[in-house]
Structure 1
């Protein structure tokens, strides 16, 4: 149960970190198209197409979280064995 909690917490933290950082990067690099803005007289929101980037962030987050949970679980198990010989 401890490994599962470590995995879930680290996965949620890494996924949130990747989502916030990607949002910040995309916002910083966004350059609006002035010609497109002048041609639309009504106030419509223009959205882009779908992307596979969120799926890549989920896969990367889960992979890092898995290895992190394995490493933390292994070190805590070794320290438990040292404490209780």
Structure 2
């Protein structure tokens, strides 16, 4: 159980760092479309909704891969 907790915590830390770095890169290379700047557009910013579903799917996948690696590791040791 201790190995699983260490695996999940390190996986979550890696996932969080990867998301932050990819967000920084995508923000740095973004260039707005000049045609949007012309015309009569509202000046308010609307953010999309967030969902915990991708993180949940990733955690389930990480758990399955951990269990599979433990089973494969046990069969190769024997």
TM-score category of the 2 structures, normalised to the smaller one: 0.5 to 0.7
**RMSD, aligned α-carbons:** 2.9
- Aligned length, in residue pairs: 64
Which runs of no fewer than 5 residues in structure 2 stay unpaired? 38-42
Determine the structure 1 residue equivalent to 2:25: 28
Determine the structure 2 residue equivalent to 1:68: 65
Distance (Å, rounded) in 2 between the aligned partners of 1:10 and 1:19? 14
Q: TM-score, normalised by structure 1?
A: 0.51
- The alignment status of 1:51 with 2:61, answered yes or no, reads no
| Deviation sequence 1:17-56 (CA, Å, 0-9, x none) | 22111111111122498x8xxx8xxxxxx8x46411xx13
Distance (Å, rounded) in 2 between the aligned partners of 1:61 and 1:12? 13
Which runs of no fewer than 5 residues in structure 1 stay unpaired? 40-45
